[in-house]
Amino acid sequence: MKAQIQPKYFEDAIVTCACGNKFTVGMTIPSFQADICSNCHPFYTGQMRYVDTKGRVDSFIAKQAKAEGLERKSKTERRAEKKAALIDADISRPNTLEELRKMLKKS
């Protein structure tokens, strides 16, 4: 291994949890702030506690509330609308060079 490209290894790096628990591990950064550890995680403690560190549940609820007001369309309806839009766009195109020139002069 080349010594110049390897990161510096800290054998006694300190990990600090949000609950206040501190422990030492080996890693490439000298300290680390954790949101949850084995002392406060519901799986290890057996407590029924809700863990949401980044507001994921709130954003999910907001997304669901937004979707409630939207009208749902089936896939076949969306395909039919897309096809109709393509047909309308094709009809609105000029058929001759003269029509194209007239259309460009209006613009």
Task: Indicate the pLDDT class of residue 52, thresholds 50, 70 and 90.
Answer: low
Q: 9-27, pLDDT tens digit by residue?
A: 999 999 999 888 999 999 9
Residue 33's domain comprises 7-52
Opening angle at CA 30, ends 27 and 35, nearest 5:
80
Q: What are phi and psi of 75, to 5 degrees?
A: -65, -40
Task: Indicate the pLDDT class of residue 1, thresholds 50, 70 and 90.
Answer: low
46 in a domain, yes or no? yes
91 in a domain, yes or no? no
30 in a domain, yes or no? yes
Is pTM beyond 0.85 here? no
Residue 54 pLDDT exceeds 80: no
- Looking up residue 37, the CATH number of its domain turns out to be 4.10.80.400
Q: Across all residues in the chain, what is the average pLDDT? A: 86
70 in a domain, yes or no? no
Q: Of 45-49, 56-60, 101-105, which gets the smallest average pLDDT?
A: 45-49
Select the more confidently predicted residue: 17 or 68: 17
Number of domains in the chain: 1
Pick from 28, 51, 57: which is nearest to 38 by CA? 51
68 in a domain, yes or no? no
